[in-house]
Structure 1
Amino acid sequence: MAADRTILHCDCNGYYASVECLFRPELREVPMAVCGDPDSRHGIILAKNELAKRYGVVTAETIWQAKRKCPELTLVAPHHDAYSRISKQINEIYGQYTDRVEAFSIDESWLDVTGSLHLFGTGRQIADELRRRIREEIGVTISVGVSFNKVFAKLGSDYKKPDATTEITRENYRDILFPLPVRDMIFIGHRAAETLQKVGVKTIGDLAGTEMEKLTALLGKAGQTMWRYANGLDDAPVLRPDEQEAAKSIGNGITFAHNLETEQDVRAGILALADTVGRRLRRHKVKCTVVQLQIKDPDLKVISRQRSLERPTDLSGEIAREAMELLCEAWPKGKPIRMMSVTGAGLVGEGAAEQLNLFDSGEDRARRGQLEQALDAIEGRFGRGTVRRGSLLNSDIMSDRKRPGEDR
C-alpha cells in the first residue's frame, strides 16, 4: 500500500475584508464589510471582518439585512486588482515549499508537501510556518487544513477560523468530520443537501454510512462521489500549474430576483451576463467560437441552445447579441424566465485566425474592443460595478440575488 500523501489546504480568512484593512488599518477597529455596491441597500455582502461576524453578518446577504443586524456597519467597495496582486504574492510563498500548488479560488490553494517533508518538517509544522509567514509578510491570516487527501484538507481549513491549523488524520477523521452537517462537504450544494436530509442523511457520518446504491439512486453519479469523499477515499492529485487543464468554456448564470417577462428586463439580464463573460474572456486572453444560452422557467423547465460564430470574439456586445438572437428564436415572447446563463465555449487564443466580415470593418471592431478594455481597466482599478451599461441603471432584476457565499 502506498504511503499517505501530506496535503494542505490554505484558506485566507475574510480575504477581501483583510486586504482592505491593509490599506486602511482603521477598518480593523470597526465592524466592516466589502460589498458590490455600497450605495445600494440591495447590494450583496462579499466579505466581512471578525467584528462584523460577531453581529451575525454573513456573506451573500443583502446590505439592508446586514445593516439591520449591525447599524454601525462600515461598507467598503471592492478593489479586485489588489486582491489579485496579493493572492499572487501569497501563492509565491506557497511555491517556496512545493511545486504542487493548485489554486481553488483567489483565496484558497491546495499544496502537496509530501516531497518536502524532509526539508521543512511535518505537515503541521509547514502549516504553522505558512500561517506565521503570511501573517508577518503579507498582513492577512490563513487557516490551514492538513490531511491525507484534498477533500479532508479543505474540511480541515474550514473547521477552525481564523488563523488556525487543523490536522485530520486516518485516526481522527471520524471524530472530527462525521458530526458535521452534510452541507459542509465540498461540492454538496443546497439542493443536494435538501435531498439527502429528506432521507435522513443529515451529517457527513450519515453520508459515509449510507449504501452507495441508495445515494446513486438519489443523486446519480454524484452520489457515488459524495460517498467516496465522506469515507476518505478521495485520491485526486494536487496539480502543478502546468498540469492544470485550460478552461474549455467561460460562463455566468443567475437566478433572478423576480421572473423576467418584459423585453427590457430580458435584454438587461442578457447584457449583465454577457458583460461578465466578455470580461473574463479578456482577462484570460481567450476568445469564444460558440455562444451558449440556457433558460429555466418558474416551473424549472430548462432549454439550452448554442450557435457557432463566424469568427472568435471576446466582446461583451457581440456575445449579448448572439445570446439575444438565440432567445428570440427559442423562447416565446412574454414567457417568464426565472434563471438564465450565457456561456462562451470553443475557446481559442487571442491570436486565432479570423474570417473577415464584409459588413463589419476591422476598424469598428477594434474600436469596440478598445472601449471594452478601457472599461475593464476602470473596473480593475476602482472595483466591479463602477461602470454600468445605461440599460442596466434602472433595472432591479438582480437586486436580491443569492450568490454562492465564499468568505472572501
Structure 2
Amino acid sequence: MWWDDIQFFGLCVYFCKDKRIRNNNNLFVEEAVRTTRRKIIHIDMDAFYASVEQRDYPEYRGKPLVVGGLPEGRGGVVATASYEARKFGVRSAMPSKQALKLCPHAIFVRPRFAVYKEVSEKIREIFCRYTDLIEPLSLDEAYLDVTADKKNIGSAIAIATQIKQAIKDELHLTASAGVSVSKFVAKIASDMQKPDGLTFIGPSSIEAFMEKLPVEKFHGIGKVTADRMTKMGIFTGADLKQLTEEEIIRNFGKAGSFYYKIVRGIDDREVQPHRETKSMGAEDTFAYDLTTVEEMNAELAKIALIVHQRLMKYQLKGRTVTLKIKYSDFRQITRSVSLPQCVSDLEIILQTARELLLATDTENSRIRLLGITVSNFIDPEAKPKSNSGQLSLFK
C-alpha cells in the first residue's frame, strides 16, 4: 500500500512520465496523466436514516430498526435498516411485510425526512471545509474532488480521515469513505469496510482490483444484468475483460462501452457540483415477467414510494408523471401525463401511474421492467442541484 500512497500523493507526474517513455500511445499517456492527478473521495453514511433515529432515540440503539413503511395493512417498503436488522437479511426497498417475517422483533418507524435533510446539510458544511467540488448523490452520500483542497493538506486519505472524525464528533454518526483516482473506484471502495471504514485503492492497484471484483459488485450492474453475465460465464472483471468492446455492447447495449472502460480502470468523469435535477424517478427490472394487473400494481406501489421518498429528500414537486414499461421482448414504451398542479404526494403519483398503465394494452402482456418518473418541477430557479436522471430502485 505504501507504494500506491507514494504514487497517488507524491510521484504522480513521475509515474506518468514513465508511462510516456514506455508507451507510444499518446491517448493512453494523456489518460494516465489526468487519472493519476485526480484525488476523489466518496463518502457514504452508514445506515443513515436508521443511525439518525438510533442517535435521537436511545431506546432504539443496539436493536433491529427498520425505517420506512409500516407492515400493517397493505404494507410499505423499507427505506433503510439498522445493521442489527441487516443481520437478518432486511434490505432497502424490501416490502415491510417481508422484513417483518425475516426479523419478527424488528422495530418499524416512519421516516423523518425533514430531520435527515437538516443532518445532511450539516454534513455538507463539513465537506465544504475542504473543497467546493462536491457532487451529492442523495442525502447520505457524495463525491468530493480534493485534488486541490482548501486547507492544502494534499493527502486525500488524511482529508477523508478528518471528515469521518468531524462527522463522528459533531453529529454523532459514522460514515465510510472510499479514496481513489476515479469516481467509480472510490464508490466501490467506500462499501468495502462498512460501517465506519476507509479504503484506499491506488492507481497501480486499480486494474488488478477490477479483475478480481465479482461483476455483481460493479456499481451500475444490477441483479438482472449480473445474472445474464454469470450465465455467459462472466463472474469477475477478469472474465468481462476477455470480451471486446463490440461484444460487450452487443450483449448489454449502450452500457457495454462503460463496462469495457471501467474494468480497465478508465473513468475520467469529473465531480459535478452543479448538476441540475430535471427529473426524479425509480425503476425496477423483475426476476420474473409480470403477467397480471394485480402484480403490476403491487410493483408500482413499491416504485412510487421510492419516488415519493426521493422527492421529499430534495423537497421537489413536479407536474409531469411518466410511466416506463419494458416488455419481455425488450420492446419499451413510455406514457406521460401533466397534472394541473405540481405534486409529490404518494397516492397521486401511484394513482396516476396506475391509470397510465391501464391505458396501455395489459392484456396478455409480459412485463420485465416498470419505472415511474416525476419531472417538470415547480420554480426552476429554486431547484436544488443534484444528480439527474433515472435512478435504480435498488440503489
| Aligned partner of 1:197 among 209, 219, 230 | 230
**For residues 67 and 134 of structure 1, do their structure 2 counterparts lie closer, same or farther at Cα, with a shift above 3 Å needed?**
same
Query: Residue in 2 aligned with 1:387?
Result: none
Task: Work out whether 1:158 is the aligned partner of 2:191.
Answer: yes
Aligned equivalent of 1:33: 66
- What is the number of residues matched between the two proteins? 350
The residue that corresponds to 1:331 in the other structure is 361
Change (3 A) 1:53 1:304: closer
Task: State the distance in 1 between where 2:281 and 2:234 align.
Answer: 32
Aligned to 1:19: 52
Query: CA, structure 1 residues 221+73, in 2 after alignment: closer, same or farther (shift >3 Å)?
Result: same
- CA pair 32-41 structure 1, distance change in 2 beyond 3 A: farther
Larger RCO, structure (CA 8 Å, separation 6 or more): 1
Which residue in the other structure is 1:381 paired with?
none
Measure, in 2, the Cα distance between the counterparts of 1:28 and 1:203: 38
Offset at residue 23 of structure 1 (A): 1.0
Which runs of 5 or more structure 1 residues have no equivalent in the other structure?
Answer: 353-402
State how far apart, in whole Å, the 2-side matches of 1:267 and 1:48 are: 22
The CA deviation at 1:62 is 3.8
Residue 59 of structure 1 pairs with residue 59 of structure 2: no
Inter-partner Cα distance in structure 1 for 2:110 and 2:338: 38
Is the contact between residue 174 and residue 205 of structure 1 (CA under 8 Å) also seen in structure 2? no
Partners of 1:286 and 1:347 within 8 A in 2: yes
SS of equivalent residue, structure 1 residue 213: helix
Counterpart contact for 1:277–1:344, Cα < 8 Å: no
Question: For residues 309 and 86 of structure 2, what CA distance do their matches in structure 1 show?
Answer: 34
Q: CA RMSD in A?
A: 3.9
Where does residue 251 of structure 2 map in the other structure? 218
Q: Supply the AA of the counterpart residue of 1:261.
A: V
Q: What does 1:81-92 correspond to in 2, within 5 Å?
A: 81-92=114-125
Amino acid at match of 2:205: N
Shift of the 136–267 alpha-carbon distance from structure 1 to 2, 3 Å rule, reads: closer
Partner of 1:49: 82
Instruction: Identify the residue that residue 324 of structure 2 maps to in structure 1.
Output: 294
The equivalent residue for 2:266 is 233
Which of 157, 165, 182 in structure 2 is aligned with 1:124?
A: 157
Question: Compared with structure 1, are the counterparts of its residues 26 and 201 closer, same or farther at alpha carbon in structure 2 (3 Å cutoff)?
Answer: same
| Pairing 1:106-185 to 2, within 5 Å after superposition | 106-116=139-149, 119-185=152-218
Q: Using the alignment, how far apart are the partners of 1:160 and 1:278 within structure 2?
A: 27
The equivalent residue for 1:388 is: none
Aligned identity (percent) is: 31
Q: Give the direction of change, closer, same or farther, for the CA distance of 1:44–1:315 in structure 2 (3 Å limit).
A: closer
Q: Deviations over 1:145-179 (max 9, x none)?
A: 00001000001101111111100111222454432
- Counterpart of 1:280 in structure 2 is 311
Q: Identify the match of residue 249 of structure 1 among 279, 287, 290.
A: 279
Structure 2: runs of 5+ lacking an equivalent: 1-32, 383-391
CA contact (8 A) 1:281 1:287 kept: no
1:304 equivalent among 334, 345, 360: 334
CA contact (8 A) 1:285 1:350 kept: no
Query: Cα–Cα, structure 1 residues 58 and 279, in superposed 2: closer, same or farther, change >3 Å?
Result: closer
What TM-score do the two structures reach when normalised by structure 1? 0.72
